[in-house]
Amino acid sequence: MKIKRMLRLARKADGTFTWIMEEPEFISYSIGVARLWLDRELEDKGFVTGDLLNKACGILVEEIFNAELNQFNIPHLRTLPLLSKNHPVNAKKNYDFKIEGCTIDVKAIPPFSHHKNLNVNQAEINKCGACDLYIAAKCYPELLEQHIKNKESAKAILIIINSIEFLGYAEADELIKSEHLKSDVKRPYYSLSKLRSMDDFASRFNIDLKQLKLSSD
């Protein structure tokens, strides 16, 4: 006799890219890799350009986006955040993902950043070159800013995250414009609030967002 079993749905059942956070493994992995990444950066450069929570959020949204592409059976290449940028697996690759030859960078918006803008550092683009597409992903809920002292305090914040919303995307030439450059800050960055929808992204790569597998034999 065949037994039907329900499969837990990680994606929100509304035909979007929104991901409901139910995977503590993602949290632990993201913090661990972020710590390793920052330690390597400190050793290689002598200074650190990011903090543990922001880096962990970035890795978290990359892993979730990868899981979504796998769920949709979308062929893709990716770089591995577990490895350094100079590792042969990642070397000379300025992207997080590549689909059909199109390079994609996924940018996380942490719970402390109360906006929905796509922000990309100018120095990153100048050094590594632009990707074809940039995606903004927001971590929820919104939280009051706190000082992250160590791995434990970062984890205490990350385990509160209950969903990841992929807000939309922009092509490089839409983002990289002088009028979008915030130059009056320590690290100038491009910021864009009006994004193409993720429905448009799905259509572009033939992703069926209505595909929800509810049961398995």
pLDDT of 48: 62
- Would you say residue 102 lies in a domain? yes
- Structural domain includes residue 114: yes
| pTM given for the model | 0.86
Residue 147 — pLDDT band, cuts 50, 70, 90? low
**pLDDT the model gives residue 179:** 97
188: number of Cβ within 10 Å: 13
pLDDT digit string (tens) for 35-57?
Answer: 887 787 777 776 666 678 888 89
Residue 1 belongs to a domain: no
With beta carbons less than 8 A apart as the criterion, state whether 81 and 26 touch.
no
pLDDT of residue 28: 83
User: What pLDDT shows up at residue 215?
Assistant: 35
pLDDT tens string 93-130: 999 999 999 999 999 999 988 899 999 999 999 999 99
Highest mean pLDDT among 28-32, 61-65, 90-94, 134-138: 134-138
Residue 195 falls inside a structural domain? yes
The verdict on residue 211 lying in a domain is no
From 3-7, 81-85, 149-153, 165-169, the region with the lowest mean pLDDT: 3-7
Mean pLDDT confidence for 184-206: 95
- Higher pLDDT, residue 210 or 18: 18
Q: Is 91 exposed, middle or buried (0-12, 13-18, 19+ CB in 10 A)?
A: exposed
In a domain, 11, yes or no: no
The tally of domains found in the chain comes to 1
Contact 131, 105 (CB under 8 A): yes
Is residue 7's pLDDT more than 60? Answer: no
Q: Which domain holds residue 95?
A: 18-204
pLDDT of residue 6: 35
9 within some domain? no
Share of the chain above pLDDT 70, in %: 85
Cα–Cα distance between 48 and 37 in angstroms, integer? 10
Interacting residues of 121 by C-beta distance below 8 A, sequence separation 6+:
187, 188, 189
In a domain, 4, yes or no: no
